[in-house]
Structure 1
Amino acid sequence: MTAQKGRDLLLKVFNSTTFAYVTVAGLRSRKLAFNASQVDVTDAESAGRWRELLAGAGINRAALSGSGLFKDQASDELVRSAFFSGAILNWQVVIPDFGTVTGPFQIAALEYSGQYNGEVLFDLSLESAGQLTFGAL
């Protein structure tokens, strides 16, 4: 497998008006992280005093983040309104030559910034809010 272009990693949000996923405009960087908590079941009789974990007992979660240029497009309004209403929307991450991760996420942080001699930037953080699915490309 050859190296992939970072710009091909896409973050999309489901638009319930058009019934289609819309790419979030202006993103320069995107990140998808998976985490799983562990359940420690170590006790005084654990072999060699090594930590023991209970398989399949922890909680899985995913976090999405991105940052880029504020473009004031339709996807920006969709993101803003979802943040202010606390809505949980369906999001999709397209990982080039690998697959898609799709599911419900809630916006945990939305930040805007800008300097007097530069463009308006935004940062976006999302947390999974239910089961995610993976689809191979």
Structure 2
Amino acid sequence: DTFMFEGHATTSMALTYVLYLTGYYPEVQRKLRQEVDGVFGGLDPECDVTADHLRELKYMDMVIKEAQRLLPSVPLMGRTIDEDMLLDGKAVPKGTDVTISIYALHHDPNVWDKPEEFIPERFSPEQSKNRNPFAFTPFSAGLRNCIGQKI
């Protein structure tokens, strides 16, 4: 039951944020509409949408990721340190519970240029290729990441 309910809440929040931001930024909405029309415009309205069609929606993928970065559905994640470590020169002993702010990570100006702005293009292949893979973690990260992230 937990998997089902957690997935519903986070998915509905993420979709709400995407719709809100798309409505708030008409230029983004226009680009999305052009992309959707380009992929589906010439198709029979009765045809099934396939995974291949969805893979063509590159800009939509960028918009969804940017919405998840700007307004993460899950703003925090917890972990327990499994071995003694140093963090910024301070000892953190094994067994310490830590909380990681996904919101702060996604708004870090050392990682994101203009972090408070909605800029879907920051998730283009060119801008993403040199970014640390843990800089964007809307589904958590590592062994305990969200099992539904690929859905």
The two structures have a TM-score, normalised by structure 2, of 0.25
The two structures have a TM-score, normalised by structure 1, of 0.26
Structure with greater strand share of residues: 1
Relative contact order higher in (CA < 8 Å, ≥ 6 apart): 1
Structure with greater helix share of residues: 2
